[in-house]
Copies of this chain bind each other. A is one copy, B any other.
């Protein structure tokens, strides 16, 4: 449940390259799969064809998850929690698909998701030399601008039409720059979702735990020109799953790891970024929990957001705990000291030895700038969809008027298809929830900057946060998708004119300059310094240690290998495979331990010994949610949906003894589809 990517924006963290990996550790890029290491560990050596087939059979959900193609007709498997926004957006007060589940009886019954985009990675190419040439010898603002311009140029040249998505990815923190070319699908339709009660059985209490009993699966289908897309590359299906000891691969998009941040960066996370984020999430959790108690409808409209808040909270708390425990930091401090000493001694690198201190200095500046930056420029991330839309309408037309490579990166040509999908989405917007979250944001703005900060005075004027939020939401006409299109096409003048009678637009017009100013300061004085010096360290590390390693995760395609395996905890052995019987044993009849009616009434038809969830040693992290677990024949044996509690320190390093990935067994999925949900149509499509 946890493995949806946690928004990196919350943390302002930079990434570094990874050291030589041990045991099952490693999230390998598809152009650097460690064939020899896999063969040594398992006896199986992947071929180049196998690797290309697995890469192209895998998928990414642009919002922060992974997925896989499982039929030639565009059928895609992912987690229930990865499709949950869509499922909620398709629900109404009268027909709650989150609670009740959904099954399309035939293609025409499949329901289009308002905001889902799926990417299929088709090709990886190296653009390191081009990027390096563009920023050579530059610093600060100039470095930042040249880098952005080069990236924008490469992406635009690649992305010749909207069915492609091209991204320049900095791997090994600028040690390597790769261009990732994806096939882009924006017509994604819901095929099947089980009831929330079984998708997230055990709820927050069981989240990040094992043993587990969750059917955290959903199926969607990508369409092309109104027909199911043809997807020749797709995984086979294993109806029996994988047993204890079986070799397993996970192909997915881990969102981010911080395995080789500098000590100063880790301390910043421990002392500043993570505690701040955790305290905000804890309070938001309280607000949302109590809001949901107002009634059925408030609960329905807020529960996806609450889930995401609770999930991030638990995940980040585990990460923070790993840093506080001290062992990881001590090990990394020793390693950093040794590397710095070696760098200082190498004549060619000597001038790079100051990079660590430059980063530490930038972090001191970041401590001062982080709150104003997050709160003033964060205007579009205030938990309100209308606020996000207003910010985009105010900025987008202004940005489109300048050259592609000079724009803020979220408005570059390559980013527009995804941006427009969100901007013109027909997903429902609920005034009550909008007001709740915008109020929360405005209270935090005042709390963090202080009631006397000029920006706070400007934003709030004489109003209280509650009053301002209510006025902006109530007075805005931006729920009208046609109006959004009109304003987007009408350009800055149209937006300005509309702001006269739309207080939300007026608000974002008024504060646009403040956000741009603090962002420029932050990017120049913090971001550029860290990026540049991180590249310096990455290159120095390459020089000292070589490149036989994997880069920190970047929400791009990675392959990990491992095995189905239990572990020992508090003196007892935890077996790696659970079964359906365990779910019935654990059920109390009360949320979150209540099995849905479909399960209770199907019980006699079930083989209760069917494998349900499994634990494996694969090295995964947030963003891997929805990743297929496959065997050496590239057949799906499971579906990643979580990690155990010991996996939460995985951001900083991999512990093969205790760290486990948690997946739904393909055997359990097949059994549930056939015996509980009457979804023989899907089973037939999976097993051909």
Contact = CB atoms under 8 A, between A and B. Distances in A.
Interface string A437-466: 000000000110011000000000011100
Contact of A205 (B286, B289, B450): B450
A467 interface: yes
A290 B443 CA distance: 13
A275 B316 CA distance: 13
A324 B206 CA distance: 31
Contact of A324 (B271, B288, B590): B271
Nearest to A294: B294
A316 to B, nearest CB: 11
A229 interface: no
Interface residues of A, number: 37
The DSSP consensus for interface residues of chain A is helix
Contact of A279 (B209, B278, B463, B589): B278
Contact of A287 (B289, B462, B588, B593): B289
Given A205-B451, A447-B204, A467 B286 contact: no
Given A206-B451, A291-B290, A324-B271, A462 B285 contact: no
A465 to B, nearest CB: 9
A126 interface: no
A254 interface: no
A450 B285 CA distance: 19
Interface in A581-604: 588-591, 593
A282 interface: yes
Contacts of A324: 271, 275
Contacts of A679: none
Give this chain's copy count: 2
Interface in A257-298: 271, 275, 278-280, 282-291, 294
A411 to B, nearest CB: 34
A273 to B, nearest CB: 12
Contacts of A204: 447
Contacts of A209: 450
A462 B590 contact: yes
Contacts of A447: 204-205
Given A275-B275, A282-B282, A588 B462 contact: yes
A64 interface: no
A464 B275 contact: no
Contacts of A291: 290
A452 to B, nearest CB: 9
Given A283-B285, A290-B290, A464 B591 contact: yes
A451 B202 contact: yes
A588 B202 CA distance: 48
A467 B590 contact: yes
Nearest to A591: B464
B463 A590 contact: yes
Contact of A286 (B287, B294, B317, B463): B287
Nearest to A447: B205
A279 B447 CA distance: 17
Contact of A284 (B286, B451, B588): B286
Interface in A516-534: none
Contacts of A286: 282-290
Given A287-B287, A287-B290, A464-B591, 7 more contacts: A205-B446, A206-B451, A280-B282, A282-B282, A282-B286, A290-B291, A462-B589
15 contacts: A202-B451, A205-B446, A206-B451, A275-B324, A278-B279, A279-B279, A279-B282, A283-B283, A284-B286, A285-B286, A286-B286, A290-B290, A290-B436, A294-B294, A463-B590
Identify the 8 closest CB pairs spanning chains A and B, nearest first: A286-B286, A290-B290, A282-B282, A286-B287, A283-B286, A464-B590, A282-B283, A205-B451
